[in-house]
Structures are given as structure tokens and as C-alpha cells.
Amino acid sequence: MKEQLEEIRRRALDELTDGASDQQIEAVRVRVLGRSGELTEVMRGMREVPQAERPAIGQLVNQIKRELEERIEALKLRLRQGALERSLAEARLDVTLPGARVPRGRIHPVTQILERMLDIFVSMGFEVAMTRDVEDDFHNFEALNFPPDHPAREMQDTFLVGGGLLLRSHTSNGQIRVMEERKPPLAVVCPGRCYRRDELSVRASPMFTQIEGFMVDRVGRITMGHLKGVLIEFLRAFYGPETGVRFRSSYFPFTEPSAEVDIHCLLCKGAGCRVCKHTGWTEILGCGMIHPNVLRAVKLDPEEFQGFAFGFGVERPALLKLGVDDMRLFFENDLRFLAQFPSLAGGAA
Ligand SMILES: [Zn+2]
């Protein structure tokens, strides 16, 4: 019996070579150590072994069992390590390969210019209020002192959306909306999109961006002088400290007195050129002292309150500032064009 056991051990160890595969190892394990394996068979024959020899045989069986189990465990560990090393070698990371580039988005040039302008007003103490694009006649025209026969109210200028509503033709509705809800003192800028039935061209678009601004307080606290101060400060912060600025008297329904503001032509710096029609000046915004009728429309007594307002388009300054000569480029969503304007550094100047 002892010889039989030694033979089982020798044969098993012969097969459990260093190069044995998973399947070969498993075959040996089942044949020798399995439930009906060779060692189990030997144990079954124990009855025929003389009593005195049984402990020695039992010990030998256990010893062979342990020995083979340890050998199998060691071989399996080797196989696992080998597999891990191979897979690491195959999936080796080449750190010299170029990485996958994540495309970087950009802020639309008109939005960049708008944000820069708003930053300047915020630095002067104005707050920013967004109002609505779809408006009623009262807030877009009537409260702003547009006479019923004013040409701007006609259908060829304004988009009507039905139900007495229209797409606002300017951001001045922001003035009315804010003053209806809050009492002075107020210093607010209302940016937003406006809509007019213009053909899309080099200089005009049916959709454009405006900033409306106004400041209202008790009578005597806010004068035309403050209006000039705020606008000159803004224009020089935006176009540069040397920018020439002039005010010309003008007419708007919602301000009295009214003025238009020109800056020196950015191309010829005031000398005169084709773009400014040899005047040296570019008209840039409209402004004035808020008309008493506008204050009355929002239930403020013009004897008690006074203020100024201004409004201007953002696309034209954006054209001037970015050196672009066709407004259509802003709205055609051609990434080759838009990608030319990486985000501008924040802050004024
Ligand atoms: Zn010029």
C-alpha cells in the first residue's frame, strides 16, 4: 500500500511541472484529490490494512494530500501572476502619445462685448435687470410717451405676435417694468434682444442687442450733468481714455431734453474718413432726462422724482471694437468666424 501511495505521489508531481497549464493542473487535482480520486480509493482499502499499520498509512495519505495541494496552489499562483504580467505588458500605457484634445468653447463675440459693457456699469454702481422680449403695447410704446400716430408703432417696424403682444422694438420697456415694481433711488441697466422688421444687411439685423440704462432719484439729485458724467466715463472705459465724446441735442418721445452722443471715429480718430463720411464722428447712443409723462405712467410724480435714461445697440460697438465690417457675420453661426474671438480678458479698458 505504501508503494502504491508513493507511486501516486510521484506520478502526480511529474505531471505538475512548472509549465503545466490550468487544464493539466485541474486534471491532476481531480484524478488524485477528487471525491472518487486515487487517494480516496486508497482510504477505502484501509480495512484490509493491518491495524498496526493504519496510522502510518493515514499519515502518509494526509502528507501526500497536503504536498499536492501546496504544489497546485503554487502553480496556480504562478499562472495568475504570469497572466497579470502579460496583460500589463500588452496594455502598456505610452505616455508619449498625444492626448485626446477636448475642444474648448468660446463665448459669442457679441455676448463678450455685452458683458464687458455691463461690467463697466456695474463698477459704477448700476445693477443689471433682465426684462421681457415679448411685450404689450403699453410697456413698449404707450408708457414711453409714444404718440398714437408715431411711425415706430406701425406694423412695418414692429413684429406683432397677436393677442395685443409684440416683440419689443427696444429695451426701454425695461425702464417701465423696473419702475413699476420698485421705487427710486434706482440705477439700473437692462440688456436684452430687440426686434424690428429690418432686412439683414451689413449694418442692420432684424434681431439685435441693446442696453437700456437709467437712474432716478428725488428732484435735484440727478441732473443732465450726471448723465454726461456717467456716459463719458462709460465710453472712455470702453473705447479708451482718449476717446473724444460730444453731445448733440436731439428728440426722443421718452426723454426731454434729449441728446445723441457721438464718439470720435475709431478709424480716423476724428480726422475724417470715408467710414464716418468725413465728419470725424460716429453716432453711438441716445439719451436724455426721463420725460415727465414716462414717470407718470409708472405712477411717479415728476414734481418729486427726476432721472435720466440712455440706450444703445451692442452690435455696432462690437463691430467697431473687433474690427468686423459686416453685422451678418455675428448671426450666421460660422464657427470659423466665431473662433477668431477667444474670450477677452475681464474688466474695463
Ligand atoms: Zn473716420
CATH number for the domain harbouring residue 182: 3.30.930.10
- Is 0.75 topped by the overall pTM? no
> What's the average model confidence in pLDDT over 24-46?
86
In a domain, 126, yes or no: yes
Q: Of 62, 90, 118, which marks where a domain is finished?
A: 90
Asked if 25 and 119 sit in the same domain, the reply is: no
Whether 165 and 134 have beta carbons less than 8 Å apart is answered as yes
- Where does the pLDDT of residue 45 fall: very low under 50, low under 70, confident under 90, or very high at 90 and above? confident
The answer to whether residue 343 scores a pLDDT higher than 90 is no
Asked if 138 and 280 sit in the same domain, the reply is: yes
Asked if 167 and 82 sit in the same domain, the reply is: no
Q: What is the pLDDT of residue 1?
A: 79
Q: Report d(CA 317, CA 191) in Å as an integer.
A: 14
The answer to whether residue 347 scores a pLDDT higher than 70 is no
Tell me, in angstroms, the distance from the centre of ligand 1 to residue 162's CA: 43
* Cell numbers at 86, concatenated: 502579460
pLDDT in tens, 199-248: 888 878 899 999 999 999 999 999 999 999 999 999 999 999 989 999 99
In a domain, 95, yes or no: no
Percentage of the chain surpassing pLDDT 70?
A: 97
Asked if 61 and 115 sit in the same domain, the reply is: no
Tell me, in angstroms, the distance from the centre of ligand 1 to residue 114's CA: 24
The answer to whether residue 346 scores a pLDDT higher than 80 is no
Q: What is the pLDDT of residue 132?
A: 93
Q: Which residue has the higher pLDDT, 179 or 22?
A: 179
List Cα–Cα distances, 83 to 64, 76, 86, 116, 339, in angstroms: 29, 11, 5, 60, 49
pLDDT in tens, 257-290: 999 999 998 888 888 888 788 999 989 999 999 9
Closest CA to 344 of 107, 105, 122: 107
Q: Which residue has the higher pLDDT, 181 or 2?
A: 181
In a domain, 319, yes or no: yes
| Total tally of structural domains belonging to the chain | 2
Tell me, in angstroms, the distance from the centre of ligand 1 to residue 231's CA: 21
Tell me, in angstroms, the distance from the centre of ligand 1 to residue 282's CA: 8
Ligand 1 ion: residues within 5 Å (CB): 265, 267-268, 273, 276
Asked if 128 and 12 sit in the same domain, the reply is: no
> What's the average model confidence in pLDDT over 134-150?
90
Tell me, in angstroms, the distance from the centre of ligand 1 to residue 274's CA: 6
Average pLDDT, the chain: 89
Q: Report d(CA 254, CA 214) in Å as an integer.
A: 12
In a domain, 97, yes or no: no
In a domain, 42, yes or no: yes
Whether 201 and 282 have beta carbons less than 8 Å apart is answered as no
Tell me, in angstroms, the distance from the centre of ligand 1 to residue 299's CA: 44
Tell me, in angstroms, the distance from the centre of ligand 1 to residue 280's CA: 5
In a domain, 268, yes or no: yes
Q: Report d(CA 141, CA 296) in Å as an integer.
A: 14
Tell me, in angstroms, the distance from the centre of ligand 1 to residue 321's CA: 14
Asked if 74 and 136 sit in the same domain, the reply is: no
In a domain, 242, yes or no: yes
- Where does the pLDDT of residue 50 fall: very low under 50, low under 70, confident under 90, or very high at 90 and above? confident
In a domain, 100, yes or no: no
Q: What is the pLDDT of residue 156?
A: 60
Whether 308 and 290 have beta carbons less than 8 Å apart is answered as yes
Q: Of 42, 60, 90, which marks where a domain is finished?
A: 90
Tell me, in angstroms, the distance from the centre of ligand 1 to residue 264's CA: 8
Instruction: Give backbone dihedrals phi and psi of 173, rounded to 5 degrees, phi first.
Output: -60, -25
Tell me, in angstroms, the distance from the centre of ligand 1 to residue 262's CA: 12
Asked if 55 and 116 sit in the same domain, the reply is: no
Tell me, in angstroms, the distance from the centre of ligand 1 to residue 239's CA: 15
Q: Of 90, 124, 148, which marks where a domain is finished?
A: 90
Tell me, in angstroms, the distance from the centre of ligand 1 to residue 315's CA: 18
pLDDT in tens, 312-339: 999 988 888 888 888 888 988 888 888 8
Tell me, in angstroms, the distance from the centre of ligand 1 to residue 286's CA: 20
Asked if 123 and 79 sit in the same domain, the reply is: no
Asked if 61 and 175 sit in the same domain, the reply is: no
Q: Report d(CA 214, CA 228) in Å as an integer.
A: 12
Tell me, in angstroms, the distance from the centre of ligand 1 to residue 339's CA: 28
> What's the average model confidence in pLDDT over 61-86?
90
Three-state DSSP state, 227: helix
Tell me, in angstroms, the distance from the centre of ligand 1 to residue 317's CA: 14
Instruction: Give backbone dihedrals phi and psi of 195, rounded to 5 degrees, phi first.
Output: -140, 130
Asked if 84 and 121 sit in the same domain, the reply is: no
Asked if 135 and 266 sit in the same domain, the reply is: yes
pLDDT in tens, 86-129: 888 888 777 888 888 887 778 899 999 999 999 999 999 999 99
Q: What is the pLDDT of residue 34?
A: 87
Tell me, in angstroms, the distance from the centre of ligand 1 to residue 245's CA: 14
Q: Report d(CA 323, CA 1) in Å as an integer.
A: 103
Asked if 61 and 156 sit in the same domain, the reply is: no
Tell me, in angstroms, the distance from the centre of ligand 1 to residue 164's CA: 43
The answer to whether residue 178 scores a pLDDT higher than 60 is yes
Q: What is the pLDDT of residue 335?
A: 85
Structural domain harbouring 117: 109-338
Tell me, in angstroms, the distance from the centre of ligand 1 to residue 48's CA: 122
